[in-house]
């Protein structure tokens, strides 16, 4: 009976975590969009990712993980650092991990989330591998 109770508790915990889990995605920035409306003091940066499906987990309310639009909160004290990571991911095609807001499902199904946390994903090993791979140049006839 104890074992069954523990298993049920674990199952309920996992189910409730899935219900309230934030988007936690891995991928490379494929698109960066900027919007600025000075009259309304509305300045925004939005991105999309080319996802690594194997490592990505999305909240149940996410309509399509591949089409999630991510918003960078420019009022955040770390916004400049986050933006630099996004630009580097885009320019160098290096993957990042992005975690969204915990209450993303509060208003029902969505295709939009705000970046809460962003970090480089395996950059040192990818850069090292790129540096070790010989670059082929020139014309071969």
Look at residue 84 and give its three-state secondary structure.
helix
Mean pLDDT for 93-109 is 93
Task: State the Cα–Cα distance between residues 47 and 115, nearest whole angstrom.
Answer: 10
Weakest-pLDDT range from 8-17, 66-75, 101-110: 8-17
The residue written with tokens 């490379």 in the block is 28
Average pLDDT, the chain: 82
Contact criterion met (CB below 8 Å) for 120 and 127: no
- pLDDT at res. 52: 85
For tokens 């049920």, the residue is: 8
pLDDT of residue 2: 55
pLDDT, tens digit (0-9, with 9 covering 90-100), for 4-55: 554 454 444 444 444 446 899 999 999 999 998 877 777 899 999 999 877 7
| Among candidate residues 87, 76, 69, the one with its CA nearest the CA of residue 116 | 76
Dihedral angle computed from the Cα positions of residues 33, 38, 41 and 47, in that order, rounded to the nearest 10 degrees: 0
pLDDT at residue 108 greater than cutoff 60: yes
Q: What pTM was computed for the model?
A: 0.73
Q: Give alpha helix (H) positions in 21-98.
A: 79-92
d(Cα 51, Cα 107) in Å, to the nearest integer? 24
Secondary structure of residue 137 in the 3-state scheme: coil
Specify the pLDDT at position 65. Answer: 81
């Amino acid at each position: 009976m104890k074992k069954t109770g523990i298993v049920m508790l674990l199952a309920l915990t996992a189910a409730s975590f899935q219900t309230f889990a934030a988007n936690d995605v891995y991928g490379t920035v494929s698109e960066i969009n900027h919007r600025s409306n000075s009259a309304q003091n509305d300045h925004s940066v939005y991105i999309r990712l080319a996802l690594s499906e194997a490592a990505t987990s999305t909240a149940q309310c996410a309509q399509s993980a591949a089409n999630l639009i991510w918003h960078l909160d420019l009022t955040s004290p770390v916004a400049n650092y986050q933006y630099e990571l996004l630009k580097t991911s885009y320019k160098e095609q290096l993957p990042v991990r992005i975690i969204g807001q915990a209450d993303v499902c509060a208003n029902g199904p969505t295709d939009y989330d705000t970046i809460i946390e962003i970090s480089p994903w395996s950059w040192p090993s990818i850069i090292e591998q790129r540096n070790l791979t010989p670059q082929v140049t020139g014309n071969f006839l």
